[in-house]
Each structure stands twice: as C-alpha cells, then as structure tokens.
Structure 1
Amino acid sequence: MKKLPEHFIFGGATAAYQCEGATKEGGKGAVAWDDFLAEQGRFSPDPASDFYHQYPVDIELCEKFGVSGLRLSIAWSRIFPKGTGEPNQEGIDYYHAIFKKCQEHHVIPFVTLHHFDTPKALFDQNDFLNRDNIDAFANYAKFCFEEFTEVAYWSTFNEIYPVATNQYLLGVFPPGIKFDFTKIIMCLHNMMVAHAKTVNIFKENGYAGEIGVVHSLETKYANSDSEEDKHAAFLEDALSIRFLLEATYLGRYTEELLGALDEICEAQGATYEFLEEDYIEMEKASHRNDFLGINHYHSHFCKAYKGPNEIYHNGTGDKGTSVYRVNGIAERVYRDDIPRTDWDWLIYPDGLYDLLMRIKKDYPHYKKIYITENGMGYKDDFEDGVIMDAPRIDYLRQYLGALSDAIEDGVNVEGYFLWSLMDMFSWTNGYNKRYGLFYVDFETQKRYPKESAYWYKFVSETKTII
C-alpha cells in the first residue's frame, strides 16, 4: 500500500460561479456567463449547489469526512460589482462568514481570486486582452489581501490556458470566438503579467500568508516515434505548458519557446508582441511564488496535422465524439488502449507523475506544489440516497498512487484537492457531469455522501491509499 505524508492536506475544490448560485443576490454584479448561458438556453447557473446559502452544511461535511482544506474562489463581482469602484459590503460580509465557518470546523481555506468570472463591465472591455484590466485585477486583489486577513493561501488565477483557449479557440466560453491564436497568445501573456504584478504587490506590501497560481497542465506525448509526431507534441506542450511555466518561473520566454510560437503563428495567421516592461515585472515575480497549484485530469497523445482546424467539444458525455485537429500544431489521438471517461478524458496517471518530475527538474526553485484539482466526471446513479461510485474510487486510487510515487522520488507536494467537494454546475456540461464527494439533489439541495466520500475519509485519516 502506498502512503502520503502525515502533514499532507486532503482537500476539496469548488468555484464560486459553479457552486454558489444566487447570481443576482447579495449585490453581486453581472458576469458574461449570465447572458451567455441564458442565450444558449441549455442550463442555468441558478441555483447550482446553492453554496451561497448552504455553505455551513458543506463546511461541516468537510470536517466530518476528513477534508482539511477547502479550495474556493471569491467572485470578483460580489466584491466590486462593476470590477472597480465602490466595494459591495454584503459580498464582503458573505466571504468573512465563510472563512469564520471554516475556522470553526478546522478547515483551511485556499482562495482563488479569479475562476473564469471577470465582472461583465470589464469583460465587455475585452477582458484580459485589454491591458487596463491588468491593473483592475491587481487593485481588486490588493483589496482582498487587506480585507480578508483570515486567508493564508492565495491563488491569483485558475487555469489561464483554458481561459484563453475556451474563449478564443474552442469558443465554448464567452465571447465564443474560435481559432484566433493572436487573442489566445495575448490573453495568456497578459494574464501572466497580471499574476506577476499581483505577486509583487503581495510581497512588497508584506502581507501575511502565501501566494501562487493555479495552472491546468495536461501532459503531452507523441503518438508515435516519428519526428513529426514528436514535434507536434512539442508544439502542443509549448503553448499549453511551457509558456505558462516559463512565465511563472523564469519571467521571460526562452528562444526555443518563442520559436515554437512563431511556427504556430505562421500556421494560424497570428501575431504577438511582448513588452520589455512585462518581462521586468514577470522576472521580479519569478522567484516569489510560494507554491504552484496544478489542475490535472488527463493527458494527450499528439500526431502531426496539417489541414483545416476542426474541434468538437464533448460536452454531453457521449463517449468517442471528441475531435481536436489544429493546423500546423497537432491532432489529439483518443487511443483505444487507454481507458477514458465518458467525456473522452484519458485515465493515465503516468501523466501526472511525469509532469511533477519535469517541474522538479526544469524549475528547481518551484518551492512546493498543491494538486489543486483532479477527479473524475461520472454519471452517478442515485438509489434511495446510496451512490456507489467505484469507478471514481479506482480513478482516485491510481492518481493518488502516482502522486505518492512522485513524492517518494523527491517532488515536494503538500496537498491534494479533489474536484469537487460537492456536485456542481459545470460550465459546458450543466448538471449531468458529476464530480463531487457529495451527491447534490439539485431540486432539494440535500447532500448525500457517496461511497467515494467514505473512501476519501479513510485515506485522509490514515494517509494510506487502499
């Protein structure tokens, strides 16, 4: 049996827009998702898991089931309804109440400042393509650092790469733009500048606690030994992993990375421009990150591809429908010899191990890592309050095992946050894709612990993976 360290944090992860509901309560300002989802007419973010009202129940469940850390996000538009201007006291009081409840139940809050929900007033000004919004975010973050002194762990952003690609490549996030690599690259860069600026504010003002960033990192492999497929994997990795890690830990992009971007831009008719002043800000922050949060669900096998851009996002759980082909970069191969979820996410724990070992080798000043999201979307069966989710337990057993191996081999990982604490609204899937330890009846908002919740409690208490 594999073990995890005694001090290890076993957490649960959430996000404000996906769990709170109450999108028009408490003085909250609008976000682009409100209109985007209403126009689609497929599903609503209200009431989601009703965490806005149910948070005392969920935090009590954390303590009962060995969940010692709670990853949550502050909704920027609950604090500043228009992104800037006068703060909303009702929103401020709400988060203070959550943090107080966490303290009462011995649960450590890990707080993300931005989880896909820029206030609409700023989003409509081109979100992070608009450099003025870098300052708006930094000012909002500074306010939170000074207001919420109960918080010891801060993350600037959640998943910068999915922000850029879901908004401007796949088009499944507002504003629904597809295949615009100029926007993708500049969104990635500007958000990393905003991260760096915020880290520097945090450190230079001497705020108590720790600060980092949460990246979604999905390991890329060549689908064959051919040089063409190896290069395709290199290009996929360059944009989705290396770009982010170099910005975070080097503060400047290497010539090899810039060469990959040039190749991608030539294939996609895109351009980019990075300012020297940005590099100065990023380099200053590059040794100030206290931790790296990693969201990791699956890996990709890549083969060379030249042809029309073609992406089909499996948002329904209709297994085998995913398509990803991007000209001059790669085609992702959904291999039949590797198990996958109904949403075509490969179950490949070696990808997590390889990723962690790579960070240890390539960025030795990384300090420490938290796995801030990992978990299995599943169509849970509900039978009179009993939810037997053995496939999820098997998934967690494999990934926690890979994590244990990486720690044994010298990677400093100090916690794991299962996505998700409870079932929640999913951005592109609605309510049929469930991840939670606790089943939510969205009609009654009653919580039911799944079989996986009892398994997770045992692992948390014993630090033993069974």
Structure 2
Amino acid sequence: MKKLPEDFIFGGATAAYQAEGATKEGGKGPVAWDEFLEKQGRFLADPASDFYHKYPEDLELCSMFGVNGVRLSIAWSRIFPEGTGRINPEGVKFYHDVLAEAKKYGIKVFVTLHHFDTPKALFDQGDFLNRDTLDAFADYAKFCFEEYPEVEYWTTFNEIYPIATNQYLLGIFPPGIKYDLTKVIACLHNMMVAHARVVNLFKENGYSGQIGVVHSLETKYPASDAPEDIHAAFLDDALSIRFLLDATYKGGYSKETLEALDEICAANNASYDFPEEDFVELEKAKDRNDYLGINHYSSHFVKAYNGENAIHHNGTGDKGTGSYKVKGIGERIYKEGLERTDWDWLIYPQGLYDLLMRIKRDYPNYKAIYITENGMGYKDDFKNGIIMDEPRIDYIRKYLTSVADAIEDGVNVKGYFLWSLMDVFSWSNGYNKRYGLFFVDFETQERYPKESAYWYKHLAETKTIL
C-alpha cells in the first residue's frame, strides 16, 4: 500500500484532434491530418469523442469521479484557421467556454498549444522544418497567453520526439517520409528552439501561471551486457531522451549527445546544422521551465544492429509483429517473458522509476514533474453498459506505485494524468484502441464509466494505491 501526496493531481488527458471531432465546424481551419486520413480511407477524426459538443458532460463526469485535473489542447487552426493572420472568434470563444466549465467544477486545466496539429497552411510550407513556423508559433502562443489569462498551466508542445520520428522516420504521420534522419534531427532541434522562444516570451512578458513542455520519454536498456548492446542503447537514448532533456535543461547539447548524433548521421548519410543564435535562446530558457510533463507508456531493450533501416509499425496488436531496426542506432527487441498490453506494448513500471531518478540526478534544475500521459490501450468488453477492465486498473496501480516510490526517493512528482479521460480517436488505430476511464459509444456518443473509473475515484479520494 502506497500513499500519494495530499495535493497530488489525479488527472485525465485529452487532445483536441483526438477528442473534439467537429474538424470542419465552428470556423476551424484544416490540418494535414484531415487530408492524410481521407486519402488512407480507413477512418476519420469525426466524430472522435465529440468533446466540441459534449465537454459539459465530460467535465461533469470528472467532478463526479474525482478527476481534479484535465489536460487538453487548443487546436491552433481553430484560433488561426490559416496558422497566422485571420482570427476565428468562434474558436476563441469555444475555449473560453471550456475553461469556464472546468472552473465551475474546480478542475485544474493544463493547456497544450500544439498536439500534433499544425495548421495545414503552415504544414504545407514545411511545418517545423521551415524556420518561419517558429515565428508563427510564437505569435500564436502570445495571442493565447493574452486571450486566456485564466489558464494556470501552459504546455508548449506535446511529444516532440514522436512528431519528428513519426513524420520523418517511421512515416506513419503526415507527410509520411521514412528514414530521413536529417529531417528528424532538424525537426527536433527547431521545435526545441520554438519551445525555448515561447518560454522566454512567457517569462519576459510576466504572464500569470506556469509553463512547461511535455516529452515522450521511454527508457532504453541494453538487451545484454555485451559492449555493443550497451552502446546501441546509449545511441537510442541519446536521440530520443538525452537530446530533448539537454535542450530543455542544459541550454544546449552535451559532448556525449553530439558524439552520438555524429555517429548516427555518419551511418545514415545525414547531417545537422544548428545556428549559434539558437543556443542563446536555449540557454535563457533552461532554468525557466516551471515543470516537465512526461508521457510514458513503455520501455525498450536494444541490441546492436548494422543492417538497413527496417521499421514496421504494429497497428493491430498482433504479438511480435512490430519491427524497429535503425541503422547506426540499434534494434529494439521483443523481450520474452515480460508482460505486454493488448496492443503489444511492454508493461515495465521499473522503466518509469528509473527515468524519474535519472532526471533528478542528471537534470537537477528541473522544478516539478507531472506524468502527463500513461495508460493502457485495451480491447474493452462492453456488456449492457458495464465495462470490467481489471487489467487497466492493474496497469495504473503498477505505474503509480513506481511514481510513489520515486516521490519517496526525492523526485518532485506533482500529478498523474491517465491517458485518456474518455475513449478517443487514435492517430494510427482509429476507434479500436481504447484508453479511457469512460467508455464512448462512438455512434451514440453516450458515456459509460468503466470499472477503472470507480477505482480511480477511490484512489483520488484516499490518495492510497490499493
């Protein structure tokens, strides 16, 4: 039995494109996902969870079930339909209404400015590979800071690493480019510079509230004690974790990070060029982050690999069908004997504990941490409005126990946001993959609390992990 702090936030997480639906309503401008999904013809982000119309019900459910914090994102193209210039008053009002409804119930709202949904007009000009997008993002952020002073917690970006790799390495996000490490590194760096610029703007203008960034961080372990496997895990970690945390908290990249980048680039005929003025921005921002959000679902065991790039995204959950082999980095292996989810993701709570302790040790200027996403994709069985999801409860229990252990050992973790609040649309799985506390019938848009919702309510009331 573990206790969590009295002021701990027990939250639920969402994202605009995955929850709102209404992709063509209310004056919203297009994003690249609209066209990308239409061309694939498998599923669309309408209706999603219809949060655009159902938010009063969803926030009331939060109040009823002890969820005292909500993560949501502003859809940039709902405010600026073309990314810059013209403002959409209907979109501006929508988020005021959502924030007012949350305040009515005393729910703390963490607002993300960018959650995978750059307006299409900017995306088509190169997204964050185009340095002009950094200016547009800063202007959009400034507008939001001034328009929504009621927001207490701002997040610049959600998951910079998955954006870069899913767009330019795996090719499962638009524009669907594979194995271009030059673009991956440029995207990572430019988005970290954009984050730093917005943090500096926020602090220098004296806006109220707090600001941080959400990184997806998945711990890497060597597949064996062999030196080549240890080095492969180091390289994978350097690109996916160290690069991001160095940029966030060190104001630049360590010698070890740059040496890893050079090795990865040499193997992939890739290159990078970081303008010197960028490091002025990163240096100014490094001690200004009020919190770090961590999205953590899995860990990886990595072995040396010298072949060609070979990545297959497992979108069905069929055990052992995924493949992740990157030239110059390594191969993420299928570790037999370890528990996995319905969607074949490794369940390894030790990875979260190790990650939290590492941040405390290696980046001591962090101020606070929120677990901004963690949860279990599960093929929920719906029986006459009853959803028994004990495996999800067990998953949350194990990961929150790791969080409690890290708090006991001195890490300042202030809250946990389950992905997801309600069932939502999944970028690569459509409507089959369910994470929510509340089951959504996507045809009727009815909500049904799952067994996990009642368990989570008791957890929030008692602060005790049972």
Shared fold per TM-score greater than 0.5: yes
Q: Tell me the alpha carbon deviations over residues 140-199 of structure 1, each in whole angstroms, 9 at most, x when there is no partner.
A: 000000000110100000000000000000000000000000000000000000000000
- Cα shift at 1:342: 2.5
Residue 428 of structure 2 aligns to a residue whose secondary structure is coil
Quick one: distance in 2 between partners of 1:93 and 1:433?
31
Q: Say if 2:234 is the partner of 1:234.
A: yes
Residue 423 of structure 1 aligns to a residue whose secondary structure is coil
Identify the residue that residue 324 of structure 2 maps to in structure 1: 324
Q: TM-score, normalised by structure 2?
A: 1.00
Quick one: distance in 2 between partners of 1:105 and 1:256?
47
- Cα shift at 1:86: 1.7
Residue 386 of structure 2 aligns to a residue whose secondary structure is coil
Quick one: distance in 1 between partners of 2:198 and 2:350?
33
Structure 2 residue runs without a partner (length 5+): none
- Cα shift at 1:315: 1.0
Residue 397 of structure 1 aligns to a residue whose secondary structure is helix
Identify the residue that residue 380 of structure 2 maps to in structure 1: 380
Identify the residue that residue 186 of structure 1 maps to in structure 2: 186
Residue 382 of structure 2 aligns to a residue whose secondary structure is coil
- Cα shift at 1:344: 2.0
Instruction: Give the partner amino acid of 1:105.
Output: Y
Identify the residue that residue 84 of structure 1 maps to in structure 2: 84
Q: Is the 8 A contact 1:222 1:232 kept in 2?
A: yes
Identify the residue that residue 105 of structure 1 maps to in structure 2: 105
Instruction: Give the partner amino acid of 2:26.
Output: G
Q: Is the 8 A contact 1:10 1:460 kept in 2?
A: yes
- Cα shift at 1:317: 2.0
Residue 398 of structure 1 aligns to a residue whose secondary structure is helix
- Cα shift at 1:328: 1.7
Identify the residue that residue 433 of structure 2 maps to in structure 1: 433
**RMSD of the alignment, in Å?**
0.5
Identify the residue that residue 73 of structure 1 maps to in structure 2: 73
Q: Describe how 1:11-22 pairs up with structure 2 within 5 A.
A: 11-22=11-22
Q: Is the 8 A contact 1:317 1:433 kept in 2?
A: no
Identify the residue that residue 349 of structure 1 maps to in structure 2: 349
Quick one: distance in 1 between partners of 2:203 and 2:84?
22
Q: Describe how 1:374-453 pairs up with structure 2 within 5 A.
A: 374-453=374-453
Quick one: distance in 2 between partners of 1:343 and 1:135?
38
Identify the residue that residue 151 of structure 1 maps to in structure 2: 151
Quick one: distance in 1 between partners of 2:166 and 2:462?
39
Quick one: distance in 1 between partners of 2:284 and 2:32?
33
Quick one: distance in 1 between partners of 2:412 and 2:27?
41
Residue 414 of structure 2 aligns to a residue whose secondary structure is strand
Which aligned runs of 4 or more in structure 1 are off by greater than 4 angstroms?
none
Q: Is the 8 A contact 1:334 1:344 kept in 2?
A: no
Identify the residue that residue 309 of structure 1 maps to in structure 2: 309
Q: Is the 8 A contact 1:33 1:174 kept in 2?
A: yes
Q: TM-score, normalised by structure 1?
A: 1.00
Q: Report how many residues are paired.
A: 466
Q: Describe how 1:264-343 pairs up with structure 2 within 5 A.
A: 264-343=264-343
Residue 155 of structure 1 aligns to a residue whose secondary structure is strand
Instruction: Give the partner amino acid of 2:119.
Output: P
Query: % of aligned pairs identical?
Result: 74
Identify the residue that residue 462 of structure 2 maps to in structure 1: 462
Structure 1 residue runs without a partner (length 5+): none
Identify the residue that residue 259 of structure 1 maps to in structure 2: 259
Q: Is the 8 A contact 1:13 1:418 kept in 2?
A: yes
Instruction: Give the partner amino acid of 2:330.
Output: A
Quick one: distance in 1 between partners of 2:372 and 2:334?
25
Identify the residue that residue 139 of structure 1 maps to in structure 2: 139
- Cα shift at 1:11: 0.2
Residue 70 of structure 1 aligns to a residue whose secondary structure is strand
Residue 353 of structure 1 aligns to a residue whose secondary structure is helix
Quick one: distance in 1 between partners of 2:265 and 2:101?
49
Quick one: distance in 1 between partners of 2:11 and 2:421?
8
Identify the residue that residue 23 of structure 1 maps to in structure 2: 23
Quick one: distance in 2 between partners of 1:137 and 1:117?
12
Q: Tell me the alpha carbon deviations over residues 109-143 of structure 1, each in whole angstroms, 9 at most, x when there is no partner.
A: 10000000000000000000000000100000000
Quick one: distance in 2 between partners of 1:315 and 1:115?
20
Identify the residue that residue 249 of structure 1 maps to in structure 2: 249
Greater shift after overlay, 395-404 or 321-330? 321-330
- Cα shift at 1:336: 1.3
Instruction: Give the partner amino acid of 2:220.
Output: K
Quick one: distance in 2 between partners of 1:344 and 1:244?
26
Q: Tell me the alpha carbon deviations over residues 415-464 of structure 1, each in whole angstroms, 9 at most, x when there is no partner.
A: 00000000000000001100000000000000000000000000011000
Quick one: distance in 2 between partners of 1:430 and 1:216?
21
Q: Is the 8 A contact 1:12 1:418 kept in 2?
A: yes
Instruction: Give the partner amino acid of 1:410.
Output: G
- Cα shift at 1:319: 2.3
Residue 182 of structure 1 aligns to a residue whose secondary structure is helix
- Cα shift at 1:269: 0.7
- Cα shift at 1:289: 0.2
Residue 212 of structure 2 aligns to a residue whose secondary structure is strand
